[in-house]
Structure 1
């Protein structure tokens, strides 16, 4: 089973990149499952709308994962419970948070579990992601050995720790949130594919998607500054392709994918 995972789609430029290139990636790599992180996909780069979610599905996404901005667009409360392919971090408080943190897909009679978790190092104080990861993985393994996790976390160490904690128990742990693709894609000793961060799909001439002048003003003046998404200029699409032995759930390969306006994609 091949899985194509596209990193954090940011704003209009990110949506345009997905619109322009997703079908080409699918044509080249022929994944059975396409997963897109959409937690920054509104024009202001915070949250997701139902229209955007449906547009990702129409483009060919099978699942959309989220992260710390999952609920920043209030509209999500109107559609998350009936959007069965939308996955939010499972460690938001279960009693008060709508949506699901674990879903299953049936792909040619093979089941794939998709888990979304959020880290807590330098982030919100949510439920312990390691405790919940163990619970969810044990639950999923009753149904399938094929388990994909989007771990939305700030620190490299927490992402690596999660991958090693789950090595041999899941097919892949792929990091999101920091918006810069890392160069450490590998298969861990137990057979789990890992990438610290898959990177961002959105404005390249920016600081992780935000206008440079906004971020620089914050650093130089220490004053409160509104961060606005960069809306013009070159763009980037960041992704990875993972090949899984669907009988064992072990990863066979993982490959980084990058498309930039100055590095066009070739079929």
Structure 2
């Protein structure tokens, strides 16, 4: 049996700090073989930089995925091609720089991971996530023992539909983007672990990681405001999956949430 932890959207410095503080101990205490983390909000809440990506990897993360904020930081499009353990969404146009998947290995077991962006309520130029996932699975089946699919999407219906579409063909379909952990973690009938959203790694005394007051005021009057990253009630959130090495299917999935200063 192998264990994989998929960590939800790392938001700003608070998310990076709790990752560096808690992840090494969590890996050791829970005997985790693989750690994948979404880093698309790691730089001040929007995008990522090369130096931040390196710090996340040094915290004990094996692979970093990204989402719709992939290009928010100036110059990242020139750095991403040099980051061998960072991948952009696979259903972006092929002309975009960066890897569209990653393969990581532990104990002789290879795990492939890729992200697809949802299209419902998402203002992105992306290929159909269902067709893109089909294409990527066909490409990766011979290269890896297990395949992890992240769906970075707004609509729970789109996430659930992709989970059912891929059940039995991949080890897990894990949702990100909405930053709120959901209570629907389950292993689907054909052996694929699923959850609508693994939650965010960052400040929960917030509105999706941002200071409360300016967001509330924006909803009331519609005026533009700066949304700074909040700092209160910082948590690390993710999905912990147990994988059968012989079948490459998921045996168990649970939501893992750790607060700053709390034991794993």
CA offsets 1:43-91 (integer angstroms, 9 cap, x no match):
2x11111111111111111000110101100231222111111011111
1:114 matched to 2:113? The reply is: yes
TM score, norm. by length of structure 1? 0.94
Distance 1:172 1:157 in 2: 17
TM score, norm. by length of structure 2? 0.95
Q: Is the 8 A contact 2:93 2:125 kept in 1?
A: no
1:91 matched to 2:91? The reply is: yes
Uncovered stretches (5+) of structure 1, i.e. residues with no partner: none
Q: Is the 8 A contact 1:146 1:248 kept in 2?
A: no
Give the root-mean-square deviation of aligned CA atoms.
1.3
Match of residue 78 from structure 2: 78
Distance 1:184 1:80 in 2: 33
Give the SS at the match of 2:150.
Answer: strand
1:37 matched to 2:38? The reply is: yes
CA offsets 1:89-142 (integer angstroms, 9 cap, x no match):
1111112x0011212123222211111111111002411111110010111112
Distance 1:35 1:142 in 2: 21
Match runs of 1:38-187 below 5 Å: 38-43=39-44, 45-95=45-95, 97-123=96-122, 124-187=124-187
Q: Is the 8 A contact 1:101 1:117 kept in 2?
A: no
Give the SS at the match of 1:184.
Answer: coil
CA offsets 1:215-259 (integer angstroms, 9 cap, x no match):
1111100223332221x3321111121011122221011111111
Distance 2:251 2:232 in 1: 37
Q: Is the 8 A contact 2:236 2:257 kept in 1?
A: yes
Match of residue 263 from structure 2: 266
Distance 1:31 1:70 in 2: 27
Q: Is the 8 A contact 1:145 1:247 kept in 2?
A: no
Q: Is the 8 A contact 2:92 2:125 kept in 1?
A: no
Match of residue 244 from structure 2: 245
1:207 offset after TM fit, Å? 0.3
Give the SS at the match of 2:241.
Answer: strand
1:177 offset after TM fit, Å? 0.3
Give the SS at the match of 1:200.
Answer: coil
Uncovered stretches (5+) of structure 2, i.e. residues with no partner: none
Distance 2:232 2:172 in 1: 33
Deviates more, 1:141-150 or 1:161-170: 141-150
Q: Is the 8 A contact 2:109 2:145 kept in 1?
A: no
Give the SS at the match of 2:84.
Answer: coil
